[in-house]
Amino acid sequence: MGEARFGVLGEVLLEIDGQPVDVGHVRQRHVLVALLVDAGQAVPVERLAERVWGDRPPSDVRNALYGYLYRLRRVLAGSDAGITRSPAGYALRVDGAAVDLFRFRELVRRSRTEADEDALASLEQALGLWRGEAFAGLGLPWLDELRRTLEHERLGAELDRNDVGLRLGRHHALLPGISALAARHELDERAAGQLVLALHRCGRQAEALEHYRRVRARLVEELGAEPGPALREAHRRVLAGDPPTGGEEPDPEPPGRDRAPVPRQLPAPPTPFVGRAAQLALLDKALTPPGGTGGTVLISAIGGAGGVGKTWLALHWAHRNLDRFPDGQLHVDLRGFDPVEEPVPPAVALRAFLEALGVAPGAVPPDPAARTGLYRSLVADRRLLVVLDNARDTAQVLPLLPGSASCTVLVTSRHQLTGLITGHGARSLRLDVLDRGDARELLAHRLGHDRLAAEAAATDELLDHCAGLPLALTVATVQASADPDHPLSALVEEFRDAALRLDALDGGELSTNLRGVFAASERALPPAAAEAFALLGLAPGPDIARPAAAHLLDLSPAATRAVLRELRRAHLVQEDPPGRYRMHDLVRLFAVERAGDRVAPVRRLVECCADTALVADALLNPHRPVVPPGGAALPLADREEALAWFDAEHANLVAARRAAVRHGWDELVWRLAWGTTSYHATRGRLRDLITAWEEGLAAAERLGDEPGRAAAHRMLGDACARIGDPVGGVAHLEEALVLAERSGSETDQAHVHRTLGIAWEQRGDVRRALEHATRSLELYRRLGNPVWTATALNSVGWCHGLTGDYDRGRAHCEQAVELAGRGGYRDGVADALDSLGYLAVKAGRHGEAIDHYTRALELFRASGNHFQVANTLVNLGDAHAARGVPAEARAAWQEALRLYREHHRVQAAQAVQERLARPENMP
């Protein structure tokens, strides 16, 4: 079992065996937190719902809650934590030591009974658990009070730590942290007293007295009260020149250290900051040297497209870790991709760093190498943070890297900076867009939850248009907040036209103009990569595989790989999984602008999709009539590879067909409909199958292609019958039969008769069904095709079974099993076994029926035929129920119900739900 660790003292965090795990949607994090704060105790469903939704629960709140709990259980599966249910509610089963909140409280409690050295260690460990504001990024009203309580506990622990440390004479080490604490809590007398004592013991009596004077003045002015006894005692000791506790002399400044300036160059922290819990945790790991000391300079190159929030992440992490860098923080914007200014030369950045470190302007060496040497000497052994923002390449960064392992360097760039990773031990972190929940939270921070709730539909559409890109979300919220009386729907209207969306997302400054941000990245590309970037924007689907990209770009495989590598390094495309590439929606709009009205590349890609689909279809069902592919097909080895290709490319094939419709490429529309038929039927994607053939029929009619029309009507009739619309199915099939008889094709007539048998059986007319099935059998036998004959034998046998003639039905179906087996038609064998199972149930031989259904399921699963798997599962459940084993029946029906819902087979799903609800089928 994996070891689960939970964090709430910062962003909500889950790790299993030390690896960050995505908890999921923001609402799912709400559910987790609602359980975590009472870990080990049952939380009633009503309280959970109140914590998650407040006074605005959804109408089906229990189902929504159960869905989140189910997904959380899946997230925790395989770990030592879990969610249990009892009459009292739901509980998170977890060891208290696995939750940072409970570890923090235990360490603080333990410190109060320990000797000072041990107490200091416990308190340092407790405070080290804090990664930021508790439950950061979660705007739940019920958490506000708990958050305030925890902040009070944290302050108490910090003050306890300082008291113990001062007793132990650690005033030099503590002074930066005490100064920061006193600045955050200016009227806290205990913090003020600690700072007065620490300054005094470090030999800075004048500063100690001045701080006491300022605090006393504020206490009198704002609270009308003099300082309390403890603060007055600290003041008295400074005036009296008292030595530190125990009569020791104040610690001298550490040897060898001049009083150099402490640079504080970080820009203000980003507000608001949401999400990124996993990335912050990875930064914590990457930038925390083992054992507290580093053997090498640690660098984290935060890579990501323009506007994705790299600088926000770097600054947020830096500000929440200030206490780790008491010797200061250096920051420079290297302007690597500035739309106007040139990148900052390293020598210029070094001059600014040296002056911040106390070097007089006239003493800065003119030679760049000498500047680097002096810089590294000054920062040696100092606990310093260096933030190098917006770096263009490795060469710009290298002279700015300290030579001391005591320093930490944080680099952001739109490029991958491979040289830093391979040559200097950088830890790379790629940043993607915000998930929908965090994007909504960002909007809520700026616009308010009430405004978003009042315009829920407009909010959802705004989130769609911004597609999780933080810069786009920020520009949109600035525009919306500039006129709070202006409805969000009006703003969304401006974004709705894709051709104008980049214009709408113009923040009025260069840094907030999305088109300018993307253009700066494009200008840094080599010409071949820039051309490829533009053409990839024309790809109609959500992503593209490398071989298909070669057709779109009209490049060799090697050249395609090279330009894609350049685009990936520039974070203008993302590669996930390996070999597949996608663009952010807004980046794609910019690429389309750059590509203009070029059509030939799209035609090449659509031809590749159509030809490869025809090859794959023939591998899935080699017994269908063959439509020859063109010369643009990608190579596929076997049925398994064909099915995997379809699974990966389905959305792209739909998009390619729509592109063909849009451009009037009717032959390609029809070929794409034919090429995807077996896949759609196998995977149960019947609505996709119907849509494809409706477009295919329209294309055939425009082409005047009568055989194409006949095939389209036949395929539509089959799909309608499968989805539960036999009336529509019969209408299409009768039209197909007219066309087939007019053409004289006995093959087409046989196919239509067999499918008409299925449709009439679904309409309840078994007599007509048997007539059509029998006619198809006669024609298939005349044609001499054993596989097609096997399918007709099964149809005839099934119809005989429906009439009650079980022996005759079994004889036909057994022949079908034999013929289909000889022909290597696995699905045909499975279909006939399913029919034999039905006939065995009717004859009262339930054990035999279960054997037939089980064998049929094995074959359907092996071929990936999800449509028929669902049907056979229902039949298997019926056999178990008839045999008096309701538990086995329910298991089969529940799996079938899940598949029916995935396939949108509403009537079939309702029939299964009725079975599950019957009292005799209850466990």
Average pLDDT of the residues in 186-198: 89
Query: Is residue 851 pLDDT above 50, yes or no?
Result: yes
pTM to 2 decimal places: 0.63
Q: What is the dihedral of CA 667, 668, 669, 674, to 10 degrees?
A: 90
Give the tens place of pLDDT for each residue, 12-22.
Answer: 889 988 888 88
Would you state the pLDDT for residue 257? 38
Task: Answer with the residue of higher pLDDT: 675 or 569.
Answer: 675
Q: Which backbone phi and psi does 327 adopt, to 5 degrees?
A: -90, 5
Average pLDDT of the residues in 326-343: 85
Would you state the pLDDT for residue 732? 96
Would you state the pLDDT for residue 620? 93
Quick check: 375 and 384 in contact, CB under 8 A? no
| Residue type at 734 in one-letter notation | E
Can you point out the beta strands (E) in 426-518?
427-430
Would you state the pLDDT for residue 877? 94
Query: Is residue 173 pLDDT above 60, yes or no?
Result: yes
Peptide bond just before 577 cis, omega within 30 deg:
yes
Q: Tokens standing for 315?
A: 């600054």
Query: Is residue 245 pLDDT above 60, yes or no?
Result: no
Would you state the pLDDT for residue 249? 42
Q: Tokens standing for 78?
A: 């395989």
Q: Tokens standing for 595?
A: 């590509």
Would you state the pLDDT for residue 710? 95
Distance CA 332, CA 342 (A): 14
Q: Which backbone phi and psi does 716 adopt, to 5 degrees?
A: -65, -40
Bridge partner list, 298: 408
From the CB of residue 56, how many other CB atoms can be counted at a distance below 10 Å? 7
Please report, for the chain, how many H helices and E strands are present, in that order: 43, 13
Q: Tokens standing for 411?
A: 């680099």
Query: Is residue 700 pLDDT above 80, yes or no?
Result: yes
Instruction: Give the dihedral sign, CA 45/48/49/54.
Output: positive
Distance CA 243, CA 199 (A): 12
| Residue type at 676 in one-letter notation | T
Give the tens place of pLDDT for each residue, 775-816.
Answer: 999 999 999 999 999 999 999 999 999 999 999 999 999 999
Mean pLDDT of the chain: 88
Instruction: Give the dihedral sign, CA 458/463/467/470.
Output: positive
From the CB of residue 918, how many other CB atoms can be counted at a distance below 10 Å? 10
Q: If pLDDT is split at 50, 70 and 90, which confidence band does 207 have? A: confident
Nearest alpha-carbon partner for 412 in 321, 309, 501: 309
HEC string of 817-871 equals HHHHHHCCCHHHHHHHHHHHHHHHHHCCCHHHHHHHHHHHHHHHHHHCCHHHHHH
Peptide bond just before 272 cis, omega within 30 deg:
yes
Average pLDDT of the residues in 53-78: 83
Range with lowest mean pLDDT among 262-276, 280-294, 532-546, 699-713: 280-294
Average pLDDT of the residues in 140-159: 88
Average pLDDT of the residues in 69-74: 88
Task: Tell me the domains of the chain and their CATH numbers.
Answer: 1-160 (1.10.10.10), 277-430 (3.40.50.300), 436-514 (no CATH), 525-598 (1.10.10.10), 705-784 (1.25.40.10), 792-923 (1.25.40.10)
Query: Is residue 433 pLDDT above 90, yes or no?
Result: no
Residue 302: partners with Cβ closer than 8 Å, 6 or more residues away: 310, 313, 314, 410, 411, 412, 413, 429, 431
Would you state the pLDDT for residue 256? 34
Q: If pLDDT is split at 50, 70 and 90, which confidence band does 339 have? A: low
Would you state the pLDDT for residue 304? 60
Distance CA 509, CA 37 (A): 44
Quick check: 391 and 524 in contact, CB under 8 A? no
Give the tens place of pLDDT for each residue, 76-128.
Answer: 988 989 999 888 899 999 988 899 999 999 999 999 999 999 999 999 899 88
Bridge partner list, 333: 389
Q: If pLDDT is split at 50, 70 and 90, which confidence band does 428 have? A: confident
Query: Is residue 705 pLDDT above 60, yes or no?
Result: yes
Quick check: 528 and 536 in contact, CB under 8 A? no
Distance CA 9, CA 137 (A): 11
Query: Is residue 819 pLDDT above 90, yes or no?
Result: yes
Nearest alpha-carbon partner for 857 in 821, 883, 888, 831: 831
Quick check: 870 and 900 in contact, CB under 8 A? yes
Would you state the pLDDT for residue 766? 94
Average pLDDT of the residues in 367-384: 87
